[in-house]
Structure formats: C-alpha cells, structure tokens
Structure 1
Amino acid sequence: MKSQPSTLLAEVRTFRQNHPDVRYVDLIALDIPGHFYGKRYPIEMLEKVAAGSPLKLPQNAVLLGVQGGLFKIGDYCFHDGDPDANRRLVPGTLKPVNWESQPLGQMMITSDGTDAPIEFEPREVLAKVLERLHHKGIHPVVAFELEFYLFDKQLDNGLPQFARDPLSGDADDQPNLHIERLSRFSDVLDDMAQTAKDQGIDITVITAELGPGQFEINFGHLDDGLRAADWAALFCRSTRGVALKHGYRASFMAKPYLQFPGSGMHVHVSLYDGAGNNLLAAHQQQSLRHAVAGCLELLPHCMPIFSPNHNAFRRLGGTVNAATRASWGFEDRDACVRIPESDPRNLRIEHRLASADANPYLVLAAILAGLEHGLEAKRDPIAPLNDDRTSGADFPLDMLDAVRAMQHHAVVRDKLGAEFVDVYCENKRQDHLAFQQEINAREYRWFL
C-alpha cells in the first residue's frame, strides 16, 4: 500500500508544471463524522513530503465530533498527550481546486499503509476489510450514488430556502422528477459534473429527484473500494464548493424537509474471484442469498454507520423508497437491499439504507462485512418483499438504541475492529448527547 517517493514526487512536479499559479495545497482526510480535516501546505513543502519527509497530524483529529469538538473517549483526547500520527499522501489525488477565489490544489492523506495506522480512521477500517477479502480471493466492484439538495445561498433565520429556478426566478418548491429541471439548473449541475471529473471522478448519470431542488449523481463502477469511497468523499466537498460559487447551498443532509424525501447514499456491490467469476451468481445464485442474509443480519447492528446523526433517523420511513425494517427484494426500491435486474456476470446488490451524509468508507466497510459474514455463515435470508410485503427485521430507530446494538455485537467487532467499534460508538453517543443540550423554540411553546 505504500507508494514509492519517486512516483509521488513525479506527481507533484507534474502538477506544478501544469498549474504554476498554485501556491498552496490542502492535504485532507475524512474524520469519523465524515468531515474533512487537514492542513494547507506550501507546494514547495509538499514536494519534500513526496520525496519522503514525514507528514504528521494529530491522531485525535479523526475523533472530532460533528461540531469539531473533542470528546473524552477512553484515554484518547485528554489523557494521551494528543500525539501526532504519521500520514501518507494518496497517489493520484493531487488535483486543482476550481471553486475557490484563488488558485489552490488538494490531495488526500491517510494513515492506512503507514507503519502505525490509526485503528479508528475510517479509511483504515475499510482498508482492513478489503485486505481481508482479497486474502480470501474476494474482489469487490463498487459504485456509489449520492442524492443531495440545492438550497438558496441565503438562509432564513437559519432555515433553508428553496433554490431559485434560474429561468423564472421563483422558488423551485414543486416536487417532481421532470427532466426539464436538469436543463433549468444545467449551469450549476454541469459545473459540478466537470469539477468532479477534474478530481478524477467518473460521473455517469444525473437525475432530477422527487424533492424540490433534489438531484442524484451516479459514479462509475470501480474494482478499487478505497478509490470508490474516495470519490464519494471528494464529490461532496467539490459539490458544496461549486454550489456556493453559483449562489446555492448544496447539502447532503439526510432529511432537510419533513414533507419531502430524504437523501440517500446507494451503494452497488458485486463480488468476483481472481478469475473474474461473479461469486454472487455461483450455485444458481445461492451465494447471493447467503450474502443478502449476512447483510440483513448485520444491518441492525450497523445503524450508527448508516444513520450517523439525529437527522438521519428522520429519513427512515414515511416517505418514498425509505425502509423502516431490514428487508430485501428483486427490483424493489422499498427494500434496504435491492437486487437490480442484470445478467449473471453483473449480478450485484444495491444497498439503499445509508443516508447521503454517512461516511462512505464506513458504509462500504459495513456492507462488505455483511456480505462476507453471509458467505461464511451460508444461511438463507428472510422472504423477499416480492413474496411477502410484510417481510423484514426490526432495526433501531434512534441513536442511543443503535449504539447499544452495535457496540457489543461480536461479528461487527470482529469484522470492523473492536477498537474502532468502541471509539465510534462513544463518538456517536457523545454527539447525540451534545445535540440534546439545547432548548429549542418548540420546547418553550410546549412546556413554558
């Protein structure tokens, strides 16, 4: 997993030749809540790092809460001296940033592949899962789909306003799936797509979704799970930046409007052996059934990953295509695990439960852990929704219940790492409790 300094140095020098006006590069990594942290480096110093100089950032930056604060989690943060940890540059991710007012570059960094990776870093968690699968001869192919909303740039007393239709100037407040919405918002959408491509992301289909100002963008399939998750993370960053440049806010918030559909992160996964055979199609698709059963078994115990905050739980149920129980089905968008129609070579699952603001590294790690567990346990799943519309298993619908279901589950701890599970669950518990420490206007209306 380590890169040769000569390769990285060549990448930096080529970038400098192609972008001589760039003086600084943001070195960025995703923390537990799914926010980027990092440092802005002069490009001359980046060359030194690429040549082999150490790159260190505080280990506990990974533990930041949603609002950026640190929580006491075991001995981390307040009893460990806040140590630095080594990071490395992720090859191929040095790209220009075109949504800032000044020329800038960005490059991803990570602790995975270093001599002492951070056990609870999201990218490291996924890297371990992928490495284990590869040792077993299992090679995932992955594609993400992300839904998001556009809002007006200006908030109204802190509340989002509908995006203005560029053609009429009126609020785009009508839910619809019309193709004309893509034309009306084509300037910002085209810029989002091109900017993503400039970051090396393979953008494919763009869809106008049901909610007002809601869209979905799909990415190409990759046989590199880490890179697929990188794409999802980088897309969120660039999309927010491009939206602001055009006078909008782009948000991947799970449920910004109670009366309209939430935004999800859909993940397509197929599994192949070393010869390129689709493992899910083996034994007349019996392996598919086993994999689905494993996904559904672990799903209730991974809810803090799929619904990572208070708002994300609002998305579950009551609207179009949002499940309230762990379920599966063929060509059924009401299911958590959908099996799209395909030939045996391309047979795959579509995992539809995660909210759009979930951490893509952890979502993919949890999905792959479920598939792996299912292939090992070889159990049959519950009935698909196609046969029984009431089929499904309950899962937690609030954060504290979800954390309890996750923290002590033996298979989840084994597949994702016990240290990560403990740290992650405490991070989510503390974030949830911190969220409750504010009296809102509704409480005064109800109880004053």
Structure 2
Amino acid sequence: MKSQSSTLLAEVRSFRQNHPDVRYVDLIALDIPGHFYGKRYPVEMLEKVAAGSPLKLPQNAVLLGAQGGLFKIGDYCFNDGDPDANRRLVPGTLKPVTWESQPLGQMLITSDGTEAPIEFEPREVLAKVLERLQHQGIHPVVAFELEFYLFDKQLENGLPQFARDPLSGDVDDQPNLHIERLSRFSDVLDDMAQTAKDQGIDITVITAEIGPGQFEINFGHCDDGLRAADWAALFCRSTRGVALKQGYRASFMAKPYLQFPGSGMHVHVSLYDAAGNNLLAAHQQQPLRHAVAGCLELLPHCMPIFSPNHNAFRRLGGTVNAATRASWGFEDRDACVRIPESDPRNLRIEHRLASADANPYLVLAAILVGLEHGLEAKREPIAPLNEDRNSGTDFPVEMLDAVRAMQQQPVLRDKLGAEFVDVYCENKRQDHLAFQQEIHAREYRWFL
C-alpha cells in the first residue's frame, strides 16, 4: 500500500508540475448503465488522497438508472441509509481534459482493490473475473472496437440531424469505407484520436462505416483487461466532448436510425498461459471450439448486458452484420462470435453482439465468463455458419424476457456474482418499466 501511495503521489505531483493551470480534477467511475459519475476535486485535495486520505462516495451512485434516478432494489437506496463506500484512485489515469473551456483534469476511481469492494460495481465485477482467470493461469489479451455516429450539434424537435459534410455543407452520404469521408471529417476525427492518445488510449485504425456520419475506432490489443475496458469507457467520454467542441454531437446510441446500421462494440479476446502460449490454438484448436461453445451457451442469458436498453434491441437483425441468433463462424461478420483469420499465435474470438452503448466492463466480463465456462465444460459448439447458414440458437429480443433469462442462470450467478446479477437485472427491469411510462405521440396518432 505504501508503494502504491508513493506511485500515486508522484503521478499527482508530476501532473501538477506539467499542468500548473489545472485547479480541479474530475474523479470518475462508470455506473451500471455505463454513465460516469463522480466528484470534482481541487487538485491540492487530490494530492492528499494520493498520499492516503480516504476517498468516499455514496455506494448507491453505482445503481443509478439511465436517467439518473434511484430504484428500490432490495434494501439498497431507500432502506440502507445511503452509505458511503471507499474508492481508490486508478494509477496511470490522471490526464488533462482538453475539450472543456477551462483547464481541467480527470482520473478514474474504483472500489476494486479496497477493503470492501462494491459487489455490483462494473469494474469490480470484471476485476473478480480477471483475478479468477489469473489464478487458473489464463491471461486474456483484449482489443475493443467502437462504432459511433456524428450528428449536427443542433437537434430539431428533439431529433438528431445528419452530420453535414464540412466541405460541401451537404448531408454526409459517401459510401462505406470511402476514404474521402475520413478526409472531409479529418478535423474532428484527428482531434478525437489525439485526445484519446492524450488520455493514454492506444488508438489504431479509423474506419468510415455505412451510416451517414458513422465511424469506427479500433484500439490496440492490451494484456490488461481492466485497462482495455478503461480505454473504451474513457474514449466514449472524450469523444462526446471533442465532438461538441468541434460543432457536432457524437453518440454511441445503438440504433439512432431505423434505416441505417446500428453501432456495435466488437471485442477481440485471445487467451495465453504464463509462458505466452495461445491456449485457444492448442491441440488442433480444440480449446477454441470449447470456448466458442461456452460463449454461445451463455449468450442468450447475457442479453441485458449486450443490449442494455430498449433501443439496443432495435439493432438486432434487419441490417448488415447484425446477428439475430447466437451463432459463430470463421471470417463471418454475420456471426455473433467470429473467428478472424490469423496465425496460431494470434488466434482469437471476436465477439460482435454488444451494442456500442453497453458497459465495456460488463461486456468483457460476460465474454470471459463464457470462454471460461466453455473451457471447463469442454462441449462441442453447434455448426458454424460456414457449414450451415441456418445454424444458431435463439436469444431474447425484449428486455423483460432477457432479464428473466439472465437472473436464474446458475453459471452467471456463480461466476459474475449472485448479488451483482440480482442488482443488475432489477436495475434493467426498473429502467425498462420507467421507459414505458411515457405515452409517445405515435400512440395518440394510432389510438386517440
């Protein structure tokens, strides 16, 4: 602990020296719906926290709904006195915020690694999964890919408007992968990429996607699963900020347009032993098949994580490369679990089902649990799509059905934690019911 405090203190002092104009630092963490919460600390107080002073925030901030409201979940929120819980600073995450009008810093905080971690905190859920795998001699290497849309900064009657081509002023209508789209939006895309790099995020490939104003950013492969998920979470925050600064809105909403493809979160995962051998490639890739089978078996029970809101279910099916059943295949983007072509050293799965607005900590935790379960159960998967285009198993496509499927799944309760599963499912159930409590104008048109 003394060594960690010394490291943190050195990090804060170095930051203050390099950024003397920064007076405040946002201490932030991701809640269950995938939003950042936290507090803004004077930088001199941050130095005291780094030296060992307590850092406490309300435990139930993790339980906030999508609109920030509190739900009664067991005894939490209304019958527990709303207690504080300890957090700690995440080393290496203190960075400048460059997209706001005033100099500012930000730093991740978490309850994992404290004396009493919050069982349902997303980062803690992932930390437990990674720790268990490490004890088994399994070391994941992870890379996220995130799709998002750019919109005009101004909404019209509350609705998003197409991003305008900066050169012509017309709606962006260039075709998929058209390199001119990257050139025309280069100012905002370059700013997003550089800002992400300033946050310590390893940004690699930028792609123009099919939808108007839709792009994809790839991250480098990382041998620290927590850091990989940190990158995905922080990228969403910085990208939205940069877009506003540049005169746009950026959104990771799963399906902003019915007529265009939704935005996904693709996750590449490979597994290695302590000597650096790819575990999936051993024994003529038999472990790969077992891992795929485990992912597919648990996938229907993880839908509230992969599709965390009503809109995310709209993304499934009906457009390009969006799966409608739990399936797998070699070099097949219609599959939920794709096996990219690679040499044995880099053999991996690409999990393609999650929406871009899903919680990256929980998405990765669910994927790793599927892989772990598959390696333990050693079952053969269903036929790949390359052999049978109709291969696949059904998964829930409506939130309440998905919650029921998740809550009673014994493997998930064991490996993700029963307390987390119960809290998460009730959070999603209450969020969904709250969403239904508003009468849309369409209902009046149809039924008045």
TM range (shorter): over 0.9
- Counterpart CA distance in 2 for 1:363 and 1:47 is 33
Q: Equivalent residue of 1:217, what SS?
A: strand
* TM superposition score normalised by structure 1: 0.99
After superposition, the C-alpha distances for 1:315-340 in whole angstroms (9 at most, x for unaligned) are: 00000000000000000000000000
After superposition, the C-alpha distances for 1:19-69 in whole angstroms (9 at most, x for unaligned) are: 000000000000000000000000000000000000000000000000000
After superposition, the C-alpha distances for 1:390-433 in whole angstroms (9 at most, x for unaligned) are: 00000000000000000010001011000000000000000000
- Counterpart CA distance in 2 for 1:228 and 1:237 is 15
| Displacement of 1:3 | 6.2
- Counterpart CA distance in 1 for 2:172 and 2:410 is 48
- Counterpart CA distance in 2 for 1:175 and 1:83 is 52
Q: Equivalent residue of 1:357, what SS?
A: coil
| Displacement of 1:171 | 1.7
- Counterpart CA distance in 1 for 2:438 and 2:339 is 42
After superposition, the C-alpha distances for 1:90-129 in whole angstroms (9 at most, x for unaligned) are: 0000000000000000000000000000000000000000
| Displacement of 1:177 | 2.6
Q: Equivalent residue of 1:14, what SS?
A: helix
Contact (CA 8 Å) 1:162, 1:172: kept in 2 or not? Answer: yes
Contact (CA 8 Å) 2:298, 2:370: kept in 1 or not? Answer: yes
Aligned to 1:294: 294
Q: Equivalent residue of 1:375, what SS?
A: helix
| Displacement of 1:185 | 0.1
Q: Equivalent residue of 2:161, what SS?
A: coil
| Displacement of 1:136 | 0.2
After superposition, the C-alpha distances for 1:230-285 in whole angstroms (9 at most, x for unaligned) are: 00000000000000000000000000000000000000000000110000001100
Q: Equivalent residue of 1:413, what SS?
A: helix
Aligned to 1:262: 262
Q: Equivalent residue of 2:3, what SS?
A: coil
Contact (CA 8 Å) 2:255, 2:315: kept in 1 or not? Answer: yes
Contact (CA 8 Å) 2:93, 2:199: kept in 1 or not? Answer: yes
Contact (CA 8 Å) 1:2, 1:113: kept in 2 or not? Answer: no
After superposition, the C-alpha distances for 1:119-143 in whole angstroms (9 at most, x for unaligned) are: 0000000000000000000000000
Contact (CA 8 Å) 1:3, 1:91: kept in 2 or not? Answer: no
Aligned to 2:77: 77
Structure 2, unaligned runs of 5 or more: none
| Displacement of 1:372 | 0.1
Aligned residues: CA RMSD? 0.8
After superposition, the C-alpha distances for 1:164-201 in whole angstroms (9 at most, x for unaligned) are: 11000112145533110000000000000000000000
Structure 1, unaligned runs of 5 or more: none
- Counterpart CA distance in 1 for 2:374 and 2:129 is 14
- Counterpart CA distance in 1 for 2:40 and 2:2 is 23
**Structure 1 residues 2 and 364 mapped into 2: Cα distance closer, same or farther (>3 Å)?**
farther
Contact (CA 8 Å) 2:176, 2:209: kept in 1 or not? Answer: yes
- Counterpart CA distance in 1 for 2:208 and 2:405 is 36
**Structure 1 residues 105 and 356 mapped into 2: Cα distance closer, same or farther (>3 Å)?**
same
What aligned pairs does 1:328-367 form with structure 2 within 5 A after superposition? 328-367=328-367
Aligned to 1:245: 245
Contact (CA 8 Å) 2:6, 2:51: kept in 1 or not? Answer: yes
**Structure 1 residues 175 and 439 mapped into 2: Cα distance closer, same or farther (>3 Å)?**
farther
Aligned length: 448
Matched, 1:94 2:94: yes
Q: Equivalent residue of 1:228, what SS?
A: helix
Q: Equivalent residue of 1:69, what SS?
A: coil
Contact (CA 8 Å) 1:64, 1:70: kept in 2 or not? Answer: yes
- Counterpart CA distance in 2 for 1:327 and 1:233 is 27
Contact (CA 8 Å) 2:174, 2:181: kept in 1 or not? Answer: no
Contact (CA 8 Å) 2:265, 2:354: kept in 1 or not? Answer: yes
| Displacement of 1:4 | 1.5
Matched, 1:198 2:198: yes
- Counterpart CA distance in 1 for 2:245 and 2:116 is 39
After superposition, the C-alpha distances for 1:187-231 in whole angstroms (9 at most, x for unaligned) are: 000000000000000000000000000000000000000000000
